[in-house]
Amino acid sequence: MLKLSLIAWLLCSLAWRTTPTSCHRTQPPPSVEELLASRLHSYMDLTARPCENFYQYACGNWPLQQVEQPAEIQQMAEQQIQLHQREQKEQLQPSDTLAVLDYALNRQLEQLLRRGVTNDSSTEDEQLISIQEKMHNYYRACKRLKPYNLKKYLQLLPPSNCTGWPLLSRKWSPETFSWLATIGRLRSYGLNGVLLKEEVLPRWDDASSYAINLDKPSQQETLPMGEGAIIELLLDIGQTKREANVLARQVDFFERQLHRLQDIEDDMGNMETELCYLAEIMPQLQWTAFIQELPINATGSELERPPALLIQNVPYMRALDKFLRRHKPETVCNYIMLKLLAFLKQQGPAEISRVECVASLRRAMPLAASLLIGQRFHDPNSEPLVSEIFGRLKRRFAQLLNENRLQLKQPILRVLQEKLEAMRLQLGFLQLNETSYVEDYYEPVQMGAQRFYENQLALLRLRVERNHELLTMGNQYNGNNVSYLAERELSSSLSPFFELPRNLVLVPYGFLQLPVWHRNMSELQQHAVLGFILAHEIIHGFDNHGIHYDSVGNLMGPSEEIWSSPRYNQSINCIEQHVATGSKSLSEKMADFEAMRLVYETYFGEKFSMDRKEPRDPLLPQFSQRQRFFISFAQFFCGKQQSLNAQHLEHAVDELRVLQTLANFEEFSREFGCEKRTKMQAKKKCRVW
Ligand SMILES: [Zn+2]
């Protein structure tokens, strides 16, 4: 029952701005703190020993508490959501806290869209209506899809005007197929990291302007899809099983060979050039065909100067050309087609359900979605509180820098202080008053309520076009703009992040919702969860990548000087040993370790004297305040067991994150009285700053 009321209340609290009367209740609601306290308790497995496995102790019963949640959420809200199949239910079951947030938010957005465009007559608002109409049409078209048919994309988007897809079209002509022209065309619809990577990014030496970056795909992007996934895609577009098997074997072989090109060293390094000189550097490649397909609308003659181009991994590109010549054009084209299908499938709805159509909408129109979420569900009264926590964390970190554990020279220290000082916090991708900017952004596209595939492709193309327009815009306007991130997955995710070239911590509006955040939460709870996340992002500005960037986000940070500090090297070696057994990434481990200390000291250092005479937790008197802090922190990471193949390998599996972070922190073991040899005591504790 408690669970039921928590979820009902969660939904109501999310909707409070739009539908203040939609939730009727018979009893007075429990306070936020009361609900959170019983929730915290219900997730814990008190039979586990906190010094042996704190994750089990804090999160052991979390999965049990989630099992029936989707069914209940349906009950609580309207009954319309129809889930016929058991697997669908399982898919919808949230796997972690972010998924819980995502699900609740999608439900709210869905209700908003279903009610249709607001009839607010105040006209900020004509602009807002136009945006919402587009969103609504995308959503309606998605809902009407029956079935979701990947083949439609291929019919709308041939590899070039001169040839069709080998599997589908009689127009296929290997003689006129150009892989570079095809890659260029599909790049303009958002496909990237297939054979090549092309991005518009802030310049390394002047982050307020942009340059085209041309590179090889990342290790991750060339990981073979595997025969199974290929067969699935081929069956989706109507190939027979037998055809699919044969083709999958060919493409799989191709992919594995291609992946090996990752090993080619970049002995030439970064080169800055201009588009027209590409052909001189690599005459064997048809660059003109590639460039012509990109949406660089202003040609060289209209611009004062042509856009700058940074190119890396030229030896890879030369080897790629040779490699592709050794394979049949048909195989190359099939490979590109399959990568395109995989990409589009990921953008589309995972299934045709209302919530999934909203998820797809958020991916397709990230800026519009951010604005709407901000305007409808974000509580502006939270902003000063969040800024206050951010400010406190910065002040404490400034003290730590001043203590100069690494014994850095004064000028270097000053550069770091300046960077910290300049670091900003931004809530949401956009400000709430940027409605007209968003309307302009989406102005060129029309959404048909019957044309899902066309809508999706038009939005994908728009995003790439808008990014390329940044190349020709003036500096003043670009400086703080993060719209260039619209193509990335993080633009539609609720997860906060640190953007190095902007020296900016960005927290999406949707993240500041229960169970993560509420302005009436205790300060302890606010620090243990949001505070930790903010501290983690701040530290990213000072991790092994972060130190390469200066206060304005140029790649001119004092990294060499810092690396020459013996203490810094010792600390890095220490953390690397934890990385070997857990997370893949040194910077993530470093951010976790340092953030825990930072947020703990920020909260308890300011709050209480260190003699620990603070009161017990008022609602859960069996725990001290400090114990409650660690439990709340750990519970943000509660989730279903994840496999190591999970998408977000940057962070270790969440369980390991919690265990390693706390085992590295002496205050944790002191508070729980963990003996020297217990699992929650790292033999060697690491510290950098
Ligand atoms: Zn991180």
What pLDDT, on a 0 to 100 scale, did the predictor assign at position 479?
A: 58
Give the pLDDT mean for 252-265.
Answer: 95
DSSP state string for 401-452: HHHTTT---HHHHHHHHHHHHH-EEEESSS-TT-HHHHHHHHTT----TT-H
CA–centroid distance, residue 51 to ligand 1 (Å)? 26
Provide the residue type at 104 as one letter: A
Cα-to-centroid distance, 546 and ligand 1 (Å) = 11
Task: Give distance in angstroms: CA of 536 to centre of ligand 1.
Answer: 6
For residues 38-48, average pLDDT: 94
Whole-angstrom Cα distance, residue 32 to residue 10? 10
Q: Is 447 left (phi over 0), alpha (psi -120 to 50) or beta?
A: beta
pLDDT classification of 64: cutoffs 50, 70, 90: confident
261 alpha carbon to ligand 1 midpoint, in Å? 29
Produce one character per residue of 573-582: b if its CB has 16 or more CB atoms within 10 Å, e if not. Answer: ebbeebbeeb
How many angstroms separate the alpha carbon of residue 533 from the centre of ligand 1?
A: 9
* Structure confidence at residue 301 as a pLDDT band (50, 70, 90): very low
pLDDT in tens, 328-337: 999 999 999 9
The Cα–Cα gap between 227 and 208 comes to 44
Nearest-angstrom CA–CA distance, 226 and 214: 27
Rounded to the nearest angstrom, the distance between the alpha carbon of 27 and the centre of ligand 1 is 41
**For residue 540, how far is its CA from the centre of ligand 1 (angstroms)?**
7
Contact assessment for residue 289 and residue 188, using Cβ atoms and an 8 Å cutoff: no
Using the structure block, give the residue that is written with the tokens 């952004």. 441
Instruction: Give the pLDDT confidence score for residue 459 in this predicted structure.
Output: 97
pLDDT at 3 over 50: no
Do residues 184 and 289 lie in contact, with contact meaning Cβ atoms separated by under 8 Å?
yes
Distance 539 CA to ligand 1 centre (A): 9
Interacting residues of 471 by C-beta distance below 8 A, sequence separation 6+: 200, 210, 211, 212, 296, 307
How many angstroms separate the alpha carbon of residue 397 from the centre of ligand 1?
Answer: 17
Of 59-68, 357-366, 449-458, give the lowest mean pLDDT range: 59-68
Q: How far is the CA of 384 from the centre of ligand 1 (A)?
A: 24
Distance CA 571, CA 587 (A): 12
497 alpha carbon – ligand 1 mean position (Å): 7
Task: Give me the pLDDT at residue 188, please.
Answer: 96
Tell me the C-alpha distance between 118 and 125, whole Å. Answer: 9
What amino acid occupies position 558? P
For residues 502 and 207, is the Cβ–Cβ distance under 8 A?
Answer: yes
Q: What is the Å distance from ligand 1's center to 498 Cα?
A: 8
Please give the distance, rounded to the nearest whole angstrom, from the Cα atom of residue 98 to the centre of ligand 1.
14
Nearest to 524, CA basis, from 397, 399, 620: 620
Contacts of 669-678 with C-beta under 8 Å, sequence gap 24+, read 669/51, 671/624, 671/626, 671/627, 671/630, 672/50, 672/51, 672/54, 672/627, 672/630, 673/51, 674/50, 674/51, 675/51, 678/51, 678/52
Least confident of 22-26, 86-90, 127-131: 86-90
Residue 481 C-alpha to ligand 1 middle, in angstroms? Answer: 21
**Mean pLDDT value of segment 295-312:** 71
β-strands 497-499, 210-215 pairing:
unpaired
CATH ID of 380-423+496-642+649-688, from 2.40.30.10, 2.70.150.10, 2.60.40.10, 3.40.390.10: 3.40.390.10
Query: Are residues 601 and 396 in contact, defined by beta-carbon separation less than 8 angstroms?
Result: yes
Class of domain 188-296+304-347: mainly alpha
- Amino acid sitting at position 115: R
Q: What pLDDT digit, counting tens, does each position of 447-476 carry? A: 999 999 999 999 999 999 999 999 887 655
* Separation CA 678–CA 422 (nearest Å): 42
Ligand 1 centroid, distance to 543 Cα (angstroms): 10
DSSP 147-176: S--THHHHHH--SBTTB--TTT-TT--TTT
Beta carbons of 216 and 197 less than 8 angstroms apart: yes
591 alpha carbon to ligand 1 midpoint, in Å?
Answer: 6
In terms of DSSP bridges, do strands 308-311 and 497-499 run parallel, antiparallel, or are they unpaired?
A: unpaired
Calculate how far, in angstroms, residue 598's C-alpha sits from the geometric centre of ligand 1. Answer: 15
- Confidence check: pLDDT of 6 > 60: no
Q: Which residues contact 643 (CB under 8 A, 6 or more apart)?
A: none
Contacts of 72 (CB under 8 A, 6+ apart): 3, 4, 7
Q: Cβ distance 201 to 484 under 8 Å? A: yes
* Section 31-49 average pLDDT: 92
Task: Give the pLDDT of residue 609.
Answer: 55
Q: Which stretch of 219-233, 385-399, 477-491, 655-669 has the lowest confidence by average pLDDT?
A: 477-491
CA 473 – ligand 1 centroid, Å: 31
Model pLDDT for residues 284-294, shown as the tens digit of each residue = 888 888 988 99
Ligand 1 geometric centre to CA of 599 (Å): 15
Of 233, 460, 245, 253, the residue nearest 338 (C-alpha): 233
Distance in Å, CA 478 to ligand 1 centroid: 25
**pLDDT value of residue 645:** 44
Residues 534, 539: Cα–Cα separation, whole Å: 9
- How many angstroms does the Cα of residue 57 sit away from the middle of ligand 1? 24
Matching residue, tokens 């999160």: 59
C-alpha angle 82/512/486, rounded to 5°?
80
Q: Distance from the CA of 588 to the center of ligand 1, in angstroms?
A: 5
pLDDT at position 90 is 41
The tokens describing 42, both together, are: 């219900």
Taking the alpha carbons of 319, 322, 328, 330 in that order, is the dihedral positive or negative? positive
Please, which pLDDT band fits residue 584 given cuts at 50, 70 and 90?
low
**Length reported for the chain:** 689
139 pLDDT above the threshold of 80? yes
83, pLDDT greater than 50: no
| pLDDT tens-place string over residues 140-196 | 999 998 888 999 999 999 998 889 999 998 889 999 999 999 999 999 999 999 999
User: What would the mean pLDDT of 137-142 be, rounded to a whole number?
Assistant: 94
Q: Average pLDDT of 572-596?
A: 86
Ligand 1 center–CA 535 separation, angstroms: 10
Provide the whole-model pTM: 0.88
Ligand 1 centroid, distance to 651 Cα (angstroms): 7
Q: Which range has the worst mean pLDDT, 95-109, 243-257, 417-431?
A: 95-109
Q: What is the chain's Cα-based Rg?
A: 26
Question: Over 70: is that where the pLDDT of 26 sits?
Answer: no
Question: 632 CA to middle of ligand 1, Å?
Answer: 19
Report the pLDDT averaged over residues 236-255: 96
Residue 610 confidence (pLDDT) above 60: no
pLDDT-derived band at 120, boundaries 50, 70, 90: low
Q: Which of 201, 198, 200, 166 is nearest to 185 (CA)?
A: 198
Domain ranges for the chain, please list them.
188-296+304-347, 380-423+496-642+649-688
CA torsion sign for 233, 239, 240, 245 is: negative
Determine the Cα–Cα distance for residues 293 and 384; give it in Å rounded to an integer: 46
- For tokens 């770091």, the residue is 416
* Pairing relationship of beta strands 497-499 and 504-507 according to DSSP bridges: antiparallel
Task: Indicate the pLDDT class of residue 689, thresholds 50, 70 and 90.
Answer: very high
Give the pLDDT of residue 583.
57
Supply the mean pLDDT for the chain. Answer: 86
Q: How far apart are CA 689 and CA 686, in angstroms?
A: 10
Residue 17 has pLDDT above 50, yes or no: no
Residue type, 229: A
Instruction: Report DSSP state, residue 196.
Output: B
b/e per residue 459-480 (b: at least 16 CB within 10 A): bbbbbbbbbbbbbeeeeeebee
**In 10 A of CB 572, how many CB atoms?**
17
Instruction: Assign 547 to helix, strand or coil.
Output: helix
Q: Is the pLDDT of residue 362 over 80?
A: yes
pLDDT, greater one: 309 or 10: 309
Write the single-letter amino acid at 377. F
CA of 616 to the centre of ligand 1 (A): 32
Please compute the mean of the pLDDT values over residues 125-130 and round it to a whole number: 84
Helix ranges (H only) for 429-565 are 435-442, 452-469, 475-478, 523-526, 532-540, 559-563
How many angstroms does the Cα of residue 221 sit away from the middle of ligand 1? 20
Distance 495 CA to ligand 1 centre (A): 10
The per-residue pLDDT for 63 is 83
Region 80-101 average pLDDT: 57
- Residue range 617-623: average pLDDT? 88
pLDDT of residue 30: 83
Ligand 1 center to 287 CA (angstroms): 36
Same fold, 188-296+304-347 and 380-423+496-642+649-688: no
At 85 the pLDDT is 36
pLDDT surpasses 50 at 98: yes
Output the CA 622–ligand 1 centroid distance in Å. 33
Distance in Å, CA 538 to ligand 1 centroid: 9
Q: Please, are residues 134 and 365 in contact by the beta-carbon 8 Å criterion? A: yes
Ligand 1 midpoint to CA 650 (Å): 8
| Strands laid side by side in the 308-311 sheet | 197-202, 210-215, 308-311, 271-274
Q: Separation of 537 CA from ligand 1 center, angstroms?
A: 6
Interior/surface letters 31-70, b for 16+ CB within 10 angstroms, e for the rest: ebbebbbbbbbebbeeebebbebbbbbbbbbbeebbeebb
Report the pLDDT value the prediction gives residue 495, as an integer from 0 to 100.
94
pLDDT for 587-606, tens place per residue?
A: 999 999 999 999 999 999 85
Per the structure block, which two tokens stand in for 194? 């297939």
The fraction of the chain above a pLDDT of 70, given in percent, is 85
Reading the block at residue 431, the tokens are 């400000």
Rounded Cα–Cα distance for residues 291 and 474 (Å): 22
Structure confidence by residue, pLDDT tens digits, 544-555: 999 999 999 999
SS3 188: coil
